[in-house]
Amino acid sequence: MAISPLDSRYRTEMSTIFEEENKLRKWMDVEIALAKAHAELGRIPKDAPKRIEEGSKKVKLARVLEIEAEIHHDLMAMVKALSEQSGEAGAYVHIGATSYDIEDTATALIFRDALALEKKRLLAFADILKSLALKHKKTVCIGRTHGQHAVPTTYGMKFALYYTEVKRHIQRLEEAEKRILVGKMSGATGTRAGFGKDGEKLEKRVMEILGLAPAPVSSQVIQRDRHAEIMQLLALISGTCEKIAKEIRNLSRPEIAELAEPFGKKQVGSSTMPHKRNPHKSERVCSLARLVRANVQTALENIPLEHERDLTNSANERFIFPESFIITDYMLAQLSSILPGLQFFPENIRKNLELTRGLIMAERLMLALTEKGVGRQEAHESVRELSQKAFAERKSLRETLEASPLGKKFSKKELDALFDPSTYTGDAERIVEDAVK
């Protein structure tokens, strides 16, 4: 029976990459590559790698776990199980290597598959955001700063903003791969002493076989700044997911009600309040993002291991690596299902544009006064006073302006244009189009 929700509720394609069965296979892939390099250098019989590779297909996770229960060492349990299935070639398994030559190199192989899936997910997510940006490039809405109505913007601008942020994550991922997809075959303290005079050639060849770069210097382990970077990358991606989800949550409040998550015909919002349409999927994304961020702290604390290494990183990495990758993948998948089905409520979008009775056009009025010869600072103070008066008397800014001497500076046609929010979005449409090119 599953204990972790990662095994059920939040399971995605990413889960398979981090399963124990796959980790075992990746460990054996590294052992096979090591044997091949040994054979090419004439250090073991030429046919040994093939026999070890054939033996690896017969190794079962259950047998490895059985051995581990006896010897209390997971990597050595794999070595013994692989040796059992490799006949006489079993004598040549794991020659010269230390446990983390295998484990850290295998982790890089797992990260390679995980990052490939994450990139695929990000690209698909970016396409969704791009489509929404273009679809809503003319959907004018109120912009909010400090939680208050600011000046008009467009929904296209919102989605274009998210799109460009996701594109930066893709760039970060591609750049980080150079530092993260690194392995080692350098022995107990990184000196390659266990491989004799062929150490440098052997390490290089193992990594060539596996398609990884060799770490230029290592101790008994790959240095954990690399692993902390990947955790930070996942936290950045999850931060964007939370940003989008939080905006959906806020814009779906009944007082705002400009949009809402898709809501199924039989979906239940509350066990006691039948009317509820809770944005629970977006709330879930925000909740999970906190977990990914928290894992970054643990990854950072794994960097200062003692001397050439201690084991304080090992146990927590069994949690933070799969957890962060799977959760981030889940959040992207969840938002990718929410966004295409978003419900927009145009009447509420228009209502909110008019909610402050024209106060959102104060900046435009100030600038228009400067064009009429009023100094900028004087215009700012005059419009500020008019705005305060309109707010206090619960009148429109236009009505208050028209009752003041400044109102005589504008014709009715000019005032109609000044107080039309749909015509005060600047270059928003072009910005969206340029951003998604």
**223 vs 183, 302, 303, 390, CA distance in Å?**
10, 9, 7, 63
Q: Tell me how long the chain is.
A: 437
**Which pLDDT score is estimated for 267?**
81
Q: Residue 344 forms beta bridges with which residues? A: 259
Q: Which DSSP state fits 219?
A: S
Strand ranges, E, within 284-395: 343-344
pLDDT tens, residue by residue, 192-206 = 999 999 999 999 999
Ramachandran region, residue 430 (left: φ > 0; alpha: ψ -120 to 50; beta: rest): alpha
Give the relative orientation of helices 428-435 and 99-135 as an angle to the nearest 10 degrees.
140
Report the distance separating Cα 390 and Cα 365, nearest Å: 14
Return the minimum-mean-pLDDT range out of 155-164, 239-248, 275-284.
275-284
Q: Residue 93: count other Cβ atoms within 10 Å of its Cβ.
A: 26
Model confidence at 335: pLDDT above 80: yes
- Which domains can be identified in the chain, with CATH numbers? 110-184+215-261+274-354+426-437 (1.20.200.10), 359-418 (1.10.40.30)
Give the tens place of pLDDT for each residue, 262-307. 987 888 877 788 888 889 999 999 999 999 999 999 999 999 999 9
Region 146-173: mean pLDDT is: 98
pTM score: 0.94
For CA atoms 336, 13, 74, 5, the dihedral sign is positive
pLDDT, mean of residues 13-18: 96
Maximum Cα interatomic distance, the chain, rounded to a whole number of Å: 102
Q: Please pick, among 146, 271, 275, 411, the residue that the annotation labels catalytic.
A: 146
Whether 186 is a known active-site residue: answer no
- Please compute the mean of the pLDDT values over residues 121-148 and round it to a whole number: 98
- Please give the backbone phi and psi of residue 266, each rounded to the nearest 5 degrees, phi first: -110, 10
Q: Which of 4, 8, 73, 270 is catalytic?
A: 270
CA distances 35 to 92, 187, 248, 299, Å, are 7, 15, 54, 32
Q: What is the pLDDT of residues 25-49, one digit of tens each?
A: 999 999 999 999 999 999 999 999 9
Euclidean distance between CA atoms 322 and 123, whole angstroms = 21
Contact residues for 37 (Cβ-Cβ < 8 A; gap 6+): 185, 201, 202, 205, 206, 209
In angstroms, how far is the first alpha carbon of the chain from the final one? Answer: 48
Give me the pLDDT at residue 1, please: 63
Residue 336 bears catalytic tag? no
Question: H/E element holding 251?
Answer: helix 225-251
Would you give the distance in Å from CA 60 to the centre of its chain?
A: 34
| pLDDT value at residue 288 | 97
**In 3D, which of 343, 331, 333 has the Cα closest to residue 263?**
343
3-state secondary structure of 369: helix
